Chains A and B, each alone.
Chain A
């Protein structure tokens, strides 16, 4: 039976909690309500209120207590009701969790997963549309993943829960119920650090992740007669899969990086610089980027469309790069 992106998240949590009694879930309204988006529906009933904890509105506590549980051998999943609220737990993430192993000289692990709905395209306005990956991409010791399919939503969450380092798991709320697919039977894990080659192509490479993956795949189909596009879905942003990027760019010689997070200071800038520096002799055009405009996520429809890299802008950017 086809499973939606959000059901895949629910399945991953259920299966991991059933497999390992040290896996638990902390967050606001995750128990009684089953989550603001119903990601944790049924978990309280199945695993009880000690392991599925409705916390007070205290994001710093959620992350900090998660670290406390983790050093005692638990594997907590920490939900931010909207990922925008992760800012309220920032210190505990970048200074506490990310440095834990380092400053203890390797004595301890920090197996926490911080997950929550990110992303624009749903009229969420300034505080319910953010894509905060770049804030954390800058912090060694963290891992950051961003699934684009139900398959990866499940597999990456399982991998994140089993990982011994702090993982920030960004689930795009636009995809929650818009995509559906059959998932493999049994224990299905998607390794952290491996990109997915969504489509092979000869003319140019598009590197993307999260919600824009779908716009890029549509463009690749629609423009098939004009240009043969190779599509890389990064899936993991930190550490990103350089090998897959390198192999693709050395083959196509042209690359466009697309993300919904803002342009300036975004992940695309880092990857572009690496490509320009390491693969210069293979390039047949400028390393290009398409991202949200450098402003806040405005509420009104036309402004939101103006900001985000929608289908039209994706097609236009591909065409521009193909012309080199």
Chain B
């Protein structure tokens, strides 16, 4: 890996954390009205995967994958406006958080209904296949979402047609308050892949190098016609399910253990081993990401609040009028 790339990866990790921390703070200050689902602690997953993609590959992020938007190229200003529910957001204020995608960067907006994006990713991948486009689709989902029927249907279909899709499971050990042992009877959700006729792989989602290695393999497989991969990244969310959740269902020790595996600190250790001047990098990147996020908040706050009648727009390709 080149030094430039290693630094770039560090920049993305830090930008995501700065961005999400700011969103959490704004939420506490009452400046954000919708739900906020922090992915703090899981940054290496979205960075490792999205950094390995081409700009015309598609991603289907879920509620905790704000970072995927950024790495895939979404404008931080518009993303912040989206979270504020303003007119410059991807939904133009019609919905908040990650429900509005950014089609110009091949980012799909999810519904709230967990798992329902996976069939859409499969359909996208089917098109790539029959039109012989060497593009791939990445469907992100939590281990909790993996219990939905839509997930099964998507994987089964993708297996039949060896579709260029990666099913990217972020296993953070909880679905809201529900621990994994109440969600499935297996250790690795990816072990289900066999049943669909494709490859399953498991990696540490807190180790950027590991994520990149596994993601590159899966993406390559998809791009070269070898079919889907179920890639499971084990990770942990530091915050509660949403900012309102005090997460009393898990222990303080567990959180501390996972914090000691922080993906950003790990990457800093790696950079240090490479003999870079980590103190200088930290400072330089810290300033840069802070400025980006400051600007994004300023942009979002200045973006107009949509007016009432705009609620009737964007329902149909040709607006329906009564004669």
Interface set of A (CB-CB < 8 Å, partner B): 28-29, 32-33, 36, 54-61, 82, 84-85, 87-88, 123-128, 293, 295-296, 298-307
Q: Which of B49-57, B117-125, B170-178, B290-298 contacts A (4 or more CB under 8 A)?
A: B170-178
B150, closest chain A residue (CB): A88
Q: Which residues does chain A contribute within 8 Å of B113, judged by CB atoms?
A: 84-85, 87-88, 127
**Given that A58-B149, A306-B309 are known contacts, is A127 also in contact with B99, CB under 8 Å in the complex?**
yes
What are 9 pairs between A and B in contact, CB < 8 Å? A85-B113, A88-B150, A125-B95, A126-B111, A128-B35, A299-B95, A299-B96, A302-B307, A303-B307
Q: Which residues does chain B contribute within 8 Å of A295, judged by CB atoms?
A: 311-312, 315
Is B144 an interface position by the 8 A CB rule? yes
Write the B156-183 contact mask toward A (1 if CB under 8 angstroms, else 0): 0000000000000000000111100011
User: Are B310 and A303 touching (Cβ within 8 A)?
Assistant: yes
**Given that A299-B85, A299-B94 are known contacts, is A57 also in contact with B306, CB under 8 Å in the complex?**
no
User: Are B149 and A299 touching (Cβ within 8 A)?
Assistant: no
User: Are B182 and A60 touching (Cβ within 8 A)?
Assistant: no
Q: How far is the CB of B33 from chain A (nearest CB, A)?
A: 4
Q: Is the interface of A mostly helix, strand, loop or mixed?
A: loop
Measured between alpha carbons, how far is A209 from B150 in the docked complex, in Å? 34
Q: Which residues does chain A contribute within 8 Å of B184, judged by CB atoms?
A: 56
Add 5 more A-B contacts to A298-B94, A301-B33 (CB < 8 A): A29-B175, A54-B177, A59-B148, A299-B91, A306-B308
In order of increasing CB-CB distance, the 4 nearest A-B pairs are: A306-B308, A127-B112, A56-B147, A300-B93
User: Are A293 and B175 touching (Cβ within 8 A)?
Assistant: no
Q: How far is the CB of B248 from chain A (nearest CB, A)?
A: 9
Candidates B115, B178, B306, B315; contact of A54 at CB < 8 Å? B178
Q: Is the interface of B mostly helix, strand, loop or mixed?
A: loop
Q: How far is the CB of B95 from chain A (nearest CB, A)?
A: 4
Candidates B35, B91, B114, B311; contact of A293 at CB < 8 Å? B311
Measured between alpha carbons, how far is A87 from B111 in the docked complex, in Å? 12
Measured between alpha carbons, how far is A320 from B183 in the docked complex, in Å? 54
A128, closest chain B residue (CB): B112
Is B195 an interface position by the 8 A CB rule? no
**Given that A57-B115, A302-B306, A306-B311 are known contacts, is A32 also in contact with B177, CB under 8 Å in the complex?**
yes
**Given that A293-B311, A293-B312 are known contacts, is A29 also in contact with B177, CB under 8 Å in the complex?**
yes
Q: How far is the CB of A301 from chain B (nearest CB, A)?
A: 7
Candidates A61, A128, A299; contact of B93 at CB < 8 Å? A299
User: Are A33 and B112 touching (Cβ within 8 A)?
Assistant: no
Q: How far is the CB of B80 from chain A (nearest CB, A)?
A: 15
Q: Which residues does chain A contribute within 8 Å of B85, judged by CB atoms?
A: 123, 299-301
Measured between alpha carbons, how far is A302 from B310 in the docked complex, in Å? 9
Q: How far is the CB of B37 from chain A (nearest CB, A)?
A: 13
Measured between alpha carbons, how far is A88 from B111 in the docked complex, in Å? 12
Q: How far is the CB of B141 from chain A (nearest CB, A)?
A: 10
Is B202 an interface position by the 8 A CB rule? no
Write the B287-323 contact mask toward A (1 if CB under 8 angstroms, else 0): 0000000000000000001111111100100000000
Q: Which residues does chain B contribute within 8 Å of A300, judged by CB atoms?
A: 85-86, 93-94, 305-306
Measured between alpha carbons, how far is A62 from B248 in the docked complex, in Å? 25
Measured between alpha carbons, how far is A263 from B302 in the docked complex, in Å? 34
Measured between alpha carbons, how far is A58 from B145 in the docked complex, in Å? 8
User: Are A126 and B94 touching (Cβ within 8 A)?
Assistant: yes
Q: How far is the CB of B98 from chain A (nearest CB, A)?
A: 11
Q: Which residues does chain B contribute within 8 Å of A87, judged by CB atoms?
A: 113
Measured between alpha carbons, how far is A307 from B33 in the docked complex, in Å? 18
Q: Which residues does chain A contribute within 8 Å of B144, judged by CB atoms?
A: 56-57
Measured between alpha carbons, how far is A185 from B198 in the docked complex, in Å? 61
Q: How far is the CB of B264 from chain A (nearest CB, A)?
A: 29
Is B249 an interface position by the 8 A CB rule? yes
**Given that A125-B99, A127-B111, A301-B305 are known contacts, is A33 also in contact with B94, CB under 8 Å in the complex?**
no
User: Are A57 and B175 touching (Cβ within 8 A)?
Assistant: yes
Q: How far is the CB of A52 from chain B (nearest CB, A)?
A: 12
User: Are B310 and A56 touching (Cβ within 8 A)?
Assistant: no
User: Are A60 and B94 touching (Cβ within 8 A)?
Assistant: no
Is B34 an interface position by the 8 A CB rule? yes
Q: Which residues does chain B contribute within 8 Å of A58, judged by CB atoms?
A: 147-149
Residues from 225 to 276 in B contacting A, C-beta threshold 8 Å = 249
A59, closest chain B residue (CB): B148
User: Are B34 and A125 touching (Cβ within 8 A)?
Assistant: yes
Q: Which residues does chain A contribute within 8 Å of B111, judged by CB atoms?
A: 126-127
Measured between alpha carbons, how far is A302 from B87 in the docked complex, in Å? 12
Q: Which residues does chain A contribute within 8 Å of B112, judged by CB atoms?
A: 82, 84-85, 126-128
User: Are A56 and B34 touching (Cβ within 8 A)?
Assistant: no
Measured between alpha carbons, how far is A126 from B97 in the docked complex, in Å? 11
Write the B30-59 contact mask toward A (1 if CB under 8 angstroms, else 0): 000111000000000000000000000000
Measured between alpha carbons, how far is A59 from B114 in the docked complex, in Å? 11
Candidates A29, A32, A88, A302; contact of B308 at CB < 8 Å? A302
Measured between alpha carbons, how far is A56 from B93 in the docked complex, in Å? 32
User: Are A33 and B249 touching (Cβ within 8 A)?
Assistant: yes
Q: Which residues does chain A contribute within 8 Å of B34, judged by CB atoms?
A: 123-125, 299
Measured between alpha carbons, how far is A125 from B35 in the docked complex, in Å? 10
Candidates B91, B183, B307, B311; contact of A56 at CB < 8 Å? B183
Measured between alpha carbons, how far is A272 from B114 in the docked complex, in Å? 37
Q: Which residues does chain B contribute within 8 Å of A61, judged by CB atoms?
A: 147
B86, closest chain A residue (CB): A300
Measured between alpha carbons, how far is A54 from B308 in the docked complex, in Å? 40
User: Are A57 and B114 touching (Cβ within 8 A)?
Assistant: yes
B309, closest chain A residue (CB): A306
Q: Which residues does chain B contribute within 8 Å of A88, judged by CB atoms?
A: 113, 116, 148-150
